[in-house]
Amino acid sequence: MRHLAGWSAAVLILALVFGTLGAVAWRADWSGGLGRADWLAIRFTLWQAFLSAALSVAFSVPIARALMRRQFPGRGLYVALLGAPFILPSIVAIFGLLTVFGRSGWVNDAFGAIGLPDISIYGLQGVVLAHVFFNLPLAVRFLLQGWQSIPVERFRLTESLNGSVWTLLERPMLVRVLPGAAAVIFLICLTSFAVALTLGGGPRATTVELAIYQAFRFDFDLGRVALLAVVQVVLCLGALSLAAAVPVGDGVGIGQDRALMRRDRHLLDWVWIGAGAVFLGAPLLAIALAGIGGLGDLPSVVWPAALRSIVVALTATVLSLGLAMALILWSNGARWIEALGALPLAASGLVMGAGLYLWLAPLAPPAALALPLTTIVNAAMVLPFAMRIMTPAYREIEAGYGRLADSLSLTSYARLRWLVLPRMRRPLGFCAGLAAALSIGDLGVIALFAGTEQATLPLAIYQLMGSYRMEGAAGAALILVALSFGLFWLFDRGGRIDADT
Amino acid sequence: MRLALTLTFCAGAAAADPLTVYVPDYFGSEWGPTPAIKAAFEQTCDCEIDFVAGEVLTRLRLEGDRTQADVVLGLNTDVAAEARELNLFAPHGLDTSDLTLPIDWTDETFLPFNWGYTAFVYNADVISEPPTSFEGLLEMENEIRIVIQDPRSSISGLALAYWVDAVFGEDATEAWTRLEPKILTVTKGWSESYGLFTNGEADMVLSYTTSPAYHITEEQDETKVAAIFDEGHYFMAEVAAKVAGTDQPELADAFMAFILTPAFQEIIPEGNWSYPANLPRDQWPEVFQALPEPATALFYTEEEAAERRDDVIETWRSALTQ
């Protein structure tokens, strides 16, 4: 049973990533190789992804540490809000960032008022800023998971023995968690595209995914599309194997699953918490302010679109958690299966969409497939995050309680029900929230397939903008943000309430 | 229950297959012109029309002769050659000698239904002395902030590349180099650029001479103005075509003919914010009649456009990456 589920999940992922790539390559007329512009794109892609990942991870350590050590009213909301930037549709996030950091944004207004020169967000710095905005919160959440995995008893023990918490507990945990977090963020930034183009300032900031888009949309040169998609997969696999080469080390063992409470004072912690809140909160505030004006004249089509988005998001969530659970139970620690779960990050969303279209359009009218396909692709795209969050949690449970469970002959369903799932509530909730929120904001393959009857909310936003209705688009964007955040909060909260076992 | 089923079944059998028409996203949404066009056309026949919004050319290329489309709408003159190469279309068989276009139209396959000029639209609150020529634009201070679209992903961005090529020819690289310091950023598509312009991030945006009509009509805002250049403006038309393999040729022909009638053409100005291809000027909405219009239309035929495409894009790319 475990094998069957695992194999099915693996086949589905391989089909989505390589099957679609194969379908595109099959239809291609092969012409030349990579040109100079392509190599420039590869170089820029790697460089910006490296910078974005390094900075996101670097800032995430002090913020996560501060959040771990401090209890304050609204901390729960703060942690929940950390999910918000990551799950914003990129077009919405870009406009939020520009309201704050743009040429006539808040920061430049403030600088101008005190006589400082303007800063420009356009260029490499803008691309990296936006990527840090998206991914810093994700890194913080990864690290919080890491910190929570250290049983609070260990902190007490270390302190009572006058040992250094940093050397004995925190640093080893970071060594375990950081490479994986950095790799995931690197991969996310590797396939970035709308951000890079809009904030990059021009063709200097061309990424590989953008080159794929152009080859596909503009030249319809499927050979180049396939070639560039392969380049992207290779880059991603390279990053994954680098991250995997870092020794994982042993976990710190299990405890009673209680939260850490500290009463000493550290000014610096509050500075980091405050800086994080301002950096991440200001653009969100800008989006809310822009959207409120547009709520008045929302076209009626927004509501059915929102409903479709919710259904797609919830189904994709169930599917992706199921896939992740199947792979994790099957893998038993096998690295290649875990790598399989990260594979969708390497895939170009565009190639997936086009490949599926080539496969399926002869079988059924594309519009009828739009929503199911969007759901499946979204589930696959979220899978790497689910794997990344759930795998360490599962490993620790097995390492800590596995033998006890074995000796009690607790197997299969009962083991899952009584041992694994209760102890995975936090990561499961976080995952479900992330999955739901990510899928609701994703334009996905819908743009290629949808008729007017299948528009999801992100597509509706693009259509509103395309018809000059920028205010309506801002209003719809606010609804999208509220929905995705609401779903995220609901699941994440559900996972944390009474999670002490 | 059985009665209801029978009724549904009969209703399904009575109505013939709908006419499937592919349209671009901006055209096919609820706030685009399609709802009005659907209503107007369905009055003329006992038929149903089904608009499918999306990327028209991409879909056709993926589907080839298996396409479900009976008619496609919204292909652009600059990519007409590539669409023609698909060998999917049948002649429209309509008289195009009296179209209200600034150029002569003799194409027997593609039928234009609306047209416009590429233009830089500026915010009159910020720019008090707008340029009156492309040369004047290049001479503006570098503090001015312009947003344009990437010619490799956007049809309007491509039109700008042709426009620069048509105006400056051999000196196109120099022109781009002089424009570059004023370019705030380059976006993937028109929507992102225009959003940057309307929220005040940019002073000027690459758009169309007809864009101000939207702001005047819908928002009573007259501060968004198109700068008219002496050298002329690049012309583009959106065209329709009948798919040769359609299973309802008569209905497709009827729709193609309907495109040139006033019932369709009157929807265009305030539905797609562009000029109608077959409607005398005095029948345009007043706002459109009052819009300043370029004296010269610059236009590459589809053969010229296809031949110059790689060159003009490479000129743009290399000048902006230096």
Residue A263 covered by a domain: no
Question: Which residues sit opposite A42 in a β-bridge?
Answer: none
Residue A214 covered by a domain: yes
Please give the ipTM for the structure prediction. Answer: 0.81
Whether A203 sits inside 8 A of B54 (CB atoms) is no
The CATH number of the domain where A415 resides is what?
1.10.3720.10
**CA-CA distance, A63 to A91, in Å (whole number)?**
26
Q: What is the pLDDT along chain A (501 residues), one digit of tens a residue?
A: 567 878 888 888 888 888 888 888 887 777 667 878 888 889 999 999 999 999 999 999 999 988 888 888 888 888 877 777 877 777 788 888 999 998 888 998 888 888 888 888 888 999 999 999 989 998 998 888 788 777 777 777 777 777 777 777 778 788 878 888 888 889 888 887 777 778 888 888 888 888 888 888 888 888 888 888 888 888 888 887 877 766 554 455 555 555 555 555 678 888 999 999 999 999 989 988 888 887 877 777 788 888 888 888 888 888 888 888 888 878 776 777 777 887 888 787 778 888 888 888 777 777 777 778 878 888 888 888 888 777 777 777 777 777 777 777 666 666 666 666 777 777 778 778 777 777 776 665 566 666 556 677 777 787 888 888 888 888 888 888 888 888 888 887 777 666 555
Bridging pattern class, strands B204-208 and B111-123: antiparallel
Question: Hey, what are A160's tokens?
Answer: 């009572």
Q: Output the CA torsion sign for A421, A423, A425, A428.
A: negative
**CA-CA distance, A16 to A363, in Å (whole number)?**
17
Q: 3-class SS at B63?
A: helix
B187 within 8 A of A122, measured Cβ to Cβ:
no
Residue A18 covered by a domain: yes
Whether B201 sits inside 8 A of A462 (CB atoms) is no
Bridging pattern class, strands B224-227 and B111-123: antiparallel
A289 interfacial to chain B (CB closer than 8 Å): no
Going from the N-terminus, what domains does chain B have, and what CATH number goes with each? 2-115+237-290 (3.40.190.10), 116-234+294-321 (3.40.190.10)
Distance from CA of B174 to the nearest CA of A (A): 17
Whether A466 sits inside 8 A of B190 (CB atoms) is yes
**CA-CA distance, B120 to B193, in Å (whole number)?**
12
Q: Is A201 left (phi over 0), alpha (psi -120 to 50) or beta?
A: left
B266 interfacial to chain A (CB closer than 8 Å): no
Q: Which residue has the tokens 């790689």?
A: B310
Residue A267 covered by a domain: no
Residue A402 covered by a domain: yes
Distance from CA of A208 to the nearest CA of B (A): 14
Q: Which residue has the tokens 């309680």?
A: A401
Query: A-chain residues within 8 Å CB-CB of B29?
Result: 301, 452, 455, 460, 463-464, 466-467
- Restricting to B residues 128-147, those with a Cβ less than 8 Å away from any Cβ of A are 145
Q: Residue B57's closest CA among B18, B15, B96, B22?
A: B22
The helix (run of H) or strand (run of E) holding residue A432 is helix A425-441
A362 interfacial to chain B (CB closer than 8 Å): yes
Distance from CA of A36 to the nearest CA of B (A): 11
Out of B145, B191, B196, name the one closest to residue A466 (CB). Answer: B191
Q: Residue B69's closest CA among B58, B80, B78?
A: B58
Distance from CA of B141 to the nearest CA of A (A): 16
Whether B316 sits inside 8 A of A203 (CB atoms) is yes
Whether B188 sits inside 8 A of A449 (CB atoms) is no
Residue A292 covered by a domain: no
- How many residues appear in chain B? 322
Give the residue numbers spanning the domain of A130: 2-25+35-248+272-286+297-496
Q: At what angle do helices A425-441 and A470-496 cross, to 10 degrees?
A: 170
Q: Residue B270's closest CA among B283, B261, B259, B257?
A: B283
Residue A260 covered by a domain: no
Residue A469 covered by a domain: yes
Residue type present at position B304: E
The helix (run of H) or strand (run of E) holding residue B243 is strand B233-243
Distance from CA of A413 to the nearest CA of B (A): 42
A466 interfacial to chain B (CB closer than 8 Å): yes
B187 interfacial to chain A (CB closer than 8 Å): yes
Out of B50, B184, B317, name the one closest to residue A203 (CB). Answer: B317
> Hey, how many other C-beta atoms are within 10 angstroms of the C-beta on B35?
16
Q: Output the CA torsion sign for B272, B276, B281, B282.
A: negative
